[in-house]
Amino acid sequence: MDRIADWAVKWRFPLEPVPEEQHNIIAPGGEEVTGEQQCKRYLSAKGRVVEKMSWRGTKGYWSMRCAACPQGQREANEACDGCQERQRLEINGLGPRLYVWTVTWRAVTADEQASRLF
């Protein structure tokens, strides 16, 4: 999950496309700016902290299959540590550990974005 969140922080979502007549923008250094770089504003999470949270769910959050078993068995497998842990938690009325990673994007202008690109 950490790798997915780190990847998501790099995403940029264009908010306002540049009008057609301004499509041949030249960036500092003489390079032509094309595609998504031509947007006036973006949603960007660059430099933002990824928030991580976990909690213990209720029994209703268990799936029908064991995530630890090689074949993802439906019935408990005595040889599987994951099945034994699940049974122990279920007996105590507990569910699986649930995780949430939150990435927060903010609107940035093309000038802010360009200073990060070049």
d(CA 95, CA 37): 45
- Whether residue 87 sits in one domain with residue 72: yes
Instruction: Give the domain range for residue 45.
Output: 11-50+103-118
- Whether residue 95 sits in one domain with residue 59: yes
pLDDT bracket for residue 65 (50, 70, 90): confident
Tokens describing residue 71: 């074949």
Total residue count of the chain as it appears in this document: 118
- Whether residue 91 sits in one domain with residue 62: yes
pLDDT tens digits, 80-118: 888 888 889 999 999 999 999 999 999 988 666 555 543
pLDDT tens digits, 5-28: 889 898 888 887 666 555 555 455
pLDDT bracket for residue 55 (50, 70, 90): very high
pLDDT of residue 17: 67
Residues whose CB falls within 8 Å of the CB of residue 27, separated by 6 or more in sequence, listed in order? 33, 37, 114, 117, 118
- Whether residue 95 sits in one domain with residue 63: yes
Residue 5 lies in a domain: no
pLDDT tens digits, 29-53: 555 555 545 567 888 898 888 999 9
Domain total in the chain: 2
Residue 66: other Cβ atoms inside 10 A: 20
- Whether residue 112 sits in one domain with residue 91: no
pTM of the model: 0.57
